[in-house]
Structure 1
Amino acid sequence: MTIPVDQLSDPTVRDFVAALNAHDRSALMGLLTPGATMSDDGSDRNLQDWLDREVFSSNGHMDVESEADGGLALVADYRNDTWGAMRTAWRFTVDGGKVSRFETGQA
């Protein structure tokens, strides 16, 4: 069972997931702090390159299964045209209504 995006607890994370699923680059970029960082499976990655490869050019989409820590930790089925579907964990750091870091990897 998935949680509808508009019912996610944290408003910044909710907007991030909505922008990601809509492939709305400007909205997603607007939700990130200057200098925002991310990691994938425990390794820091270049945020812009990762988003281009894993989201925008490959039709990335997140269906959230569960949330914890006030909505800052998600478990989601993530799919894109490159890797297919996989169960992933997401952890967000939100500062002043913007994402300063997110970490993702297989769950």
Structure 2
Amino acid sequence: MKTIFDSILVNRIQFESSSTEVQLDCCVYENGSSYDSQIFVSMSAFNQLLCELSVRGIDLNMDDDLDTIVLSNDEIVYSMDLTGDDEKPVFLPYYCFPEQNKLLRA
């Protein structure tokens, strides 16, 4: 897939109840090439990304579409698959991510 600007296609969002980080499984489009990667962002940065998506007209329904896996009484894993046929692709511009995350490669 060719994109006009450097961007990130988010395929899955995953985080644990006891963690302060969110894992984004994604495809990074950068400098004319693409690669699959996992990007870890803080909860605060994730909230900013959700606001950016909302501004772009993509509202993720975290109440209805978030799957939960109970590992124990204290541990729950939350996951949201964004690759479904009925979903719009969730693209974010590369510049919205914190600078330290731009240095990660798979």
Specify the TM-score bucket, using the shorter chain as the normaliser: 0.3 to 0.5
Normalising by structure 1, report the TM-score.
Answer: 0.33
Larger radius of gyration: 2
